[in-house]
């Protein structure tokens, strides 16, 4: 091994260990919460089945109350609230969900028996189990700041996996005995080496699944996700829009109803962000809730895959928005209806999106365990379990090796960084912007520390001479 290769290994080993001590606790938390979230459909179905068990016995053939009547009853019982969304009952399901939002922005979901109209259960939307798990997984319950931390930890976890793979493959004993690469060595070895072998071999086998899992989650992140949105806009990869940031408008009727062709039923505001910050729905008193029944019974909505959500119009002549929200992104659809005439304004399907957006969406489905059924869930759970094992084994191996009462950290490499390594760091910083920012911070801290040390050394030498 050349001196340059040895220096590179020493430098990578130092970074790998120091970063691992910080990242591994977060990796364990994210892997556990992610594994739980993989089974969201099953957990949600269990929750709904439990709530449906409270439904009263109804005579066969009893007519169901219309969704608009359910909403009117809930709004009458909660006069200070407005309708956030309605989640239609599934075939064979007795309950539909009505989510209301009060003046303080707090949201509450109410489960209503679709036949009797009886209130079966109510929960704060943010206190639902899977919502708490999602918030913990995506932002550590800290809002945007937590989201930045998660992105930083996920970026560094990818770096740890890649650097660990290089260190393991370049280990001289592994090159001489290739079996050590793929089989943990747990016999006739010191305990710390046994745990290190488990740590490295598990990382070797799961490198690809872990990297794929991390990359597929990047579209949700603050820095990478917003940067990717800008790239899509510049490259013309954007789809039809109007899925989440809805700027469509309804055709407000004149003194007498007028039949209007679909081509001019809607328009896009000159400012596409005009309503992004608005969470208030249209005035509930002025809104014709009977349109809900027409929309629910339309053939387009009847053909959607559940769960199906209906969101009310935004102020200033907005539109009713229906979203089909299955976990598999290719099955999702969005439909907009005129709030006055209930005419279909726009229907957005998966095929309407740019191929790049389709590819990224399928990556999200893979991340959530929904791309290829239960096998996807199993692979995701095994990968999350592997991340937990790699982190625990690595931390324990370090703990066994460190001197008692002292942190065992490899010595800093004082030689200048090679140009190839600089290029690699720059490329990683561009691909993983959160990590790139941390590179700059780490370099600045080390440079400042070196400068201070040199100044102290110069002072001590001057004082000794005097």
The rounded mean pLDDT for the chain is 85
DSSP annotation of 326 reads: -
pLDDT digits (tens, 9 = 90+) for 229-281: 898 889 888 878 787 788 888 888 764 443 433 332 223 333 333 333 344 45
Residue 151's pLDDT is 96
* Full domain range(s) for residue 303: 238-367
Interhelix angle 355-367/223-235, rounded to 10 degrees, is 160
3-state secondary structure of 309: strand
Residue 264's pLDDT is 28
Sorted by sequence, the CB contacts under 8 Å of residue 345 that are 6+ apart come out as 248, 250, 262, 265, 266, 319, 336, 337, 338
Residue 259's pLDDT is 41
Are 402 and 448 in the same domain?
Answer: no
| In a domain? residue 114 | no
Q: Are 147 and 222 in contact (CB under 8 A)?
A: yes
Are 449 and 342 in the same domain?
Answer: no
Are 134 and 214 in the same domain?
Answer: yes
| In a domain? residue 110 | no
Three-state SS sequence of 425-445:
HHHHHHHCHHHHHHHHHHHHH
Are 411 and 429 in the same domain?
Answer: no
Residue 60's pLDDT is 65
Model pTM?
Answer: 0.85
Residue 454's pLDDT is 58
| In a domain? residue 86 | no
Distances (CA, A) of 97 to 124, 150, 168, 436: 12, 31, 52, 44
Residue 277's pLDDT is 38
Are 348 and 360 in the same domain?
Answer: yes
The last residue of a domain, from among 351, 367, 383: 367
Instruction: Report how many domains make up the chain.
Output: 3
| In a domain? residue 15 | yes
Residue 263's pLDDT is 31
DSSP string, 60-86: TTPPPPPHHHHHHHHHHH-TT-EEEEE
Cβ count near 280 (within 10 Å): 13
Task: Please classify residue 368 by burial: count the beta carbons closer than 10 Å to its beta carbon, then call 0-12 exposed, 13-18 middle and 19+ buried.
Answer: buried
Residue 404's pLDDT is 67
Residue 145's pLDDT is 94
Are 51 and 183 in the same domain?
Answer: yes
Residue 276's pLDDT is 36
3-state secondary structure of 273: coil
Residue 58's pLDDT is 74
The last residue of a domain, from among 367, 400, 427: 367
- Which residues of the chain are under the pLDDT cut of 70? 1-3, 59-63, 172, 188, 254-286, 403-410, 449-466
| In a domain? residue 80 | no
Task: Please classify residue 410 by burial: count the beta carbons closer than 10 Å to its beta carbon, then call 0-12 exposed, 13-18 middle and 19+ buried.
Answer: middle
Are 158 and 231 in the same domain?
Answer: yes
């Amino acid at each position: 091994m050349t001196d340059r290769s040895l220096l590179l290994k020493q430098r990578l080993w130092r970074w790998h260990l120091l970063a691992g001590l910080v990242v591994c606790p977060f990796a364990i938390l994210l892997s556990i919460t992610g594994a739980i979230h993989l089974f969201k459909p099953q957990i949600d179905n269990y929750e709904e089945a439990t709530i449906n068990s409270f439904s009263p016995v109804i005579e066969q053939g009893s007519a169901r109350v219309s969704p608009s009547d359910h909403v009117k009853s809930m709004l009458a019982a909660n006069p200070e609230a407005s309708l956030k969304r309605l989640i239609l009952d599934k075939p064979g399901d007795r309950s539909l969900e009505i989510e209301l939002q009060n003046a303080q922005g707090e949201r509450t979901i109410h489960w209503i028996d679709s036949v009797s109209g009886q209130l079966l259960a109510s929960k704060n939307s943010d206190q639902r189990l899977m919502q708490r798990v999602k918030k913990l997984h995506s932002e550590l319950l800290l809002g945007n700041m937590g989201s930045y931390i998660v992105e930083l930890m996920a970026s560094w976890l990818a770096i740890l996996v890649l650097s660990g793979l290089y260190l393991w493959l370049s280990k001289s004993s592994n090159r001489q005995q290739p079996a050590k690469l793929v089989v943990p060595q747990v016999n006739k070895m010191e305990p710390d080496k046994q745990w290190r072998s488990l740590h490295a071999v598990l990382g070797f086998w799961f490198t690809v699944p872990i990297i794929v899992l991390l990359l597929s989650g990047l579209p949700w992140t603050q820095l990478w996700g917003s940067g990717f949105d800008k790239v899509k806009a510049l490259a013309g990869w954007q789809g039809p829009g109007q899925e989440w940031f809805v700027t469509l408008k309804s055709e407000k009727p004149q003194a007498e109803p007028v039949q209007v062709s679909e081509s001019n039923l809607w328009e896009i505001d000159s400012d596409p962000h005009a309503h992004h910050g608005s969470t208030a729905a249209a005035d509930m008193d002025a809104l014709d809730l009977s349109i809900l029944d027409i929309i629910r019974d339309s053939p387009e909505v009847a053909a959607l895959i559940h769960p199906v959500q209906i969101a009310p119009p935004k102020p200033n002549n907005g539109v009713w928005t229906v979203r089909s929200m299955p976990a598999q992104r290719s099955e999702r659809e969005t439909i907009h209806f005129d709030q006055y005439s209930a005419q279909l304004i726009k229907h957005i399907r998966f095929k309407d999106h740019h191929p790049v957006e389709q590819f990224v969406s399928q990556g999200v489905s893979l991340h959530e365990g929904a791309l290829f059924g239960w096998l996807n869930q199993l692979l995701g759970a095994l990968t999350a379990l592997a991340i937990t094992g790699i982190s625990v084994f690595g931390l324990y191996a370090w703990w066994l090796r460190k001197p008692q009462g002292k942190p065992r950290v490899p010595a800093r490499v004082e030689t200048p960084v090679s140009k190839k390594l600089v290029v690699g760091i720059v490329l990683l910083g561009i691909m993983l912007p959160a990590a790139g920012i941390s590179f700059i911070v780490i370099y600045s801290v080390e440079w400042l520390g070196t400068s201070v040390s040199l100044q102290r050394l110069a002072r001590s030498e001057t004082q000794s001479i005097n």
